[in-house]
Structure 1
């Protein structure tokens, strides 16, 4: 337990940095939420086709872990967001993540440009399965591969 406590303890610099974070109250007219500004800023959508999405993302220093590499939580967030985007239907509520499985294969450094592709593996009723591949755009090296299952309301066939 003591080891975990030491690992989670913030340095004075980290504590000061966190104390300076301001989170504006959510408002209907708010352009972007804190979450979007922090975790999603920098994702550029390159191509969208039925059942396929391709994006690029330059790794920002704010999403790195203590070793200076892209944090595994940030990778999981990319799998969640891009995997969900490929099954999103305009005018319907967002789908809910049911399950994610991620293979962390390599790492990414700040300022690395990543290529993220997602495609639909299949849909049955309100359940969808997607696969997300994250690669280093310069080297082609696979950073992570994720499978993402979602549940949501789909357009009526009537």
Structure 2
């Protein structure tokens, strides 16, 4: 018999216990990121930087896995959003870009402690609109975990 909506949405005790064990450090006064951004992107290392292309390395931590031990789809979406936008920021003080559209193809799963290679590439610019491609790949097998296309927009700078 299928679960009712109420049963499906109930939080299991093991999930509740998992959340209560999280240690959340107090935010630094100068931090401009939210808790969730720092929670999701902590531990990502820069490997290669070229204008318009950046490569990162990441080992899947327990905090970003679902109850089956796979990298959570929400964590993948946050990585596509935050790491994808990083290809646009080369100098402090540049105007902020906002996400307009994001689509992600989930092609495989990554397990706890898998080493991932994350590449982000600027694929096009049309005025203040920019398109980015982000690929998460298992470093040891070469298997693509997810591919995200991310569009961002920034207001044009004033000509005054």
TM-score bracket, shorter-length normalisation: 0.7 to 0.9
**Mind listing any 5+ residue stretches in structure 1 that lack a counterpart?**
none
Give the number of aligned pairs: 158
TM-score w.r.t. the length of structure 1 is 0.85
Matches of 2:17 and 2:67, distance apart in 1: 16
Residue in 1 that maps onto 2:16: 15
**Mind listing any 5+ residue stretches in structure 2 that lack a counterpart?**
none
Over 3 Å counting, the alpha-carbon distance change for 1:61 and 1:17 in structure 2 is closer
Structure 1 segments, 4+ long, off by >2 Å, are 2-8, 12-37, 153-158
- CA-based RMSD of the aligned residues comes to 2.7
Residue among 94, 97, 101 paired with 1:92:
94
Deviation at 1:81, TM superposition (A): 1.3
Deviation at 1:87, TM superposition (A): 1.3
The answer (yes or no) to whether the contact 1:61–1:110 under 8 Å persists in 2 is: yes
The answer (yes or no) to whether the contact 2:37–2:78 under 8 Å persists in 1 is: no
Matches of 2:10 and 2:24, distance apart in 1: 22
Deviations 1:64-123, CA, capped at 9 Å, x for gaps: 112211111111111111211111242124311110111111100000000011111111
Residue in 2 that maps onto 1:120: 122
